[in-house]
Amino acid sequence: MTQEALVPPFAVIPGSQVHRVLSGHEKRTLELVEAAYRVHGEGDTVNPPSYFLRFPDRPSSRIIALPASIGGETRVDGLKWISSFPQNVEAGIPRASAVLVLNDYATGYPLACLESSIISAARTAASAALAADWLSRDRGRPKRIGFIGTGLIARHIHTMLRGVGWSFDEVGVHDLSAEYAGGFRSYLESSGETGRITVHDHAEELIRSSDLVVFATVAGTPHVSDPGWFSHNPLVLNVSLRDLAPEVLLASANVLDDIEHCLKAETSPHLAEKLSGGREFIDGTLYDVMTGRVEAPAGRPVVFSPFGLGVLDLAVGKLVYDEVLRQGELAVVDGFFHEVDRYGRPGAPGAPS
């Protein structure tokens, strides 16, 4: 086999193709994410800590690198590079932007660079919906859902839940911006949502009136601190990770996607560990729930805190890559790898002339 045949072609997959592959296929995405969690729980992944690039002159902004490798049927390595610039919202553009690089499992050569804000949102939504499913199996499926934070992630979570068969009698909405809350309400109405939609002025009234609470904000520090707001024992998807004060978590059952990842970077679980001096407040991981090692109690609030694992991005990204390749629409960058002969021998593919 020639060197040229050994080196995979490099492709660029734009957001339009990513959207076409994932839109309307929420059940497939959720099943893929569940499979990735199982592979991770079985130890067939490498998922090191995320790396944060921060800026002294722009303290609210950051860019995060999530390197990872996943085995199982996916078998791919890679890196998600995702930025969060909150000031973008004021300019009318999304806060987050991202790319995902996939590396060939056999050679390590990059296979593709994919637009990844959609992939990131899809895997986050699938993770949340998966947790909602498993954690409500012994409690009864919630019929009243409330969203605190009304951006891209909230929209994707709602779309994912509806796409895999959830329906609600009531949908609550709360955002610090009345404009954003109104925009999310308009989205809900246009999505075909049949539940009664209510925009709440205060987080407390939304939480108390919801069986399933979704936190999808850009909060950097806790702003919900009263465990009494959760006395009706709702299921809480702590997607944005920093909204809840540690006292709320210490009064609840807690399920994480990955304990070591979640207990870092001043997340709510990290603050709870610091306050309590230990990890006894953690009941287990989502993998523990899926394998029957842990059951969500019916008589307490249950909080799911997902740090967001790079292996999930790889699983969804590889699905997109494989589907675009299958459809014959892969946009290959010819000559991207210029030298593919180790010694640069004359006449070898890619060798200098």
Q: What integer pLDDT is reported at residue 346 of this predicted model?
A: 58
pLDDT tens-digit profile of 78-124?
999 999 998 998 888 888 999 999 999 999 999 999 999 999 999 99
Which contiguous run of DSSP H or E holds residue 283? strand 282-285
Mean pLDDT confidence for 165-169? 97
CA atoms lying within 13 Å on the CB side of residue 270? 16
Q: Percent of the chain beyond pLDDT 90?
A: 87
At residue 231, does pLDDT exceed 80? yes
Residue 136 has a pLDDT of 96
Q: What 3-state DSSP class applies to 171?
A: strand
**pLDDT for 182 beyond 60:** yes
Report the SS3 class of residue 317: helix
pLDDT at 272 over 90: yes
Q: Which CATH architecture group holds 127-305?
A: 3-Layer(aba) Sandwich (3.40)
pLDDT at residue 349, as a whole number: 56
Q: Contact, 8 vs 102, CB < 8 A?
A: no
Question: What is the pLDDT, as a whole number, of residue 170?
Answer: 98
| H or E stretch covering 53 | strand 51-54
pLDDT (0 to 100) of residue 90: 84
Question: What's the whole-number mean pLDDT along residues 246-253?
Answer: 98
CB count in 10 Å sphere of residue 116: 27
Q: Shortest CA distance to 48 belongs to which of 255, 307, 285?
A: 307
Domains 3-119+310-326 and 127-305 share a fold: no
pLDDT at 338: 83
pLDDT in tens, 126-138: 999 999 999 999 8
What average pLDDT does range 60-84 have in this prediction?
96
Q: Are 256 and 282 in contact (CB under 8 A)?
A: yes
pLDDT tier for residue 341 given thresholds of 50, 70 and 90: confident
What pLDDT is recorded for position 92? 83
pTM, to two decimals: 0.93
19 pLDDT more than 90: yes
Domain 3-119+310-326 has CATH 3.40.50.280: no
Domain spans in the chain, listed from the N-terminal domain onward: 3-119+310-326, 127-305
* b/e map 341-350, b = 16+ CB within 10 Å: beeeeeebee
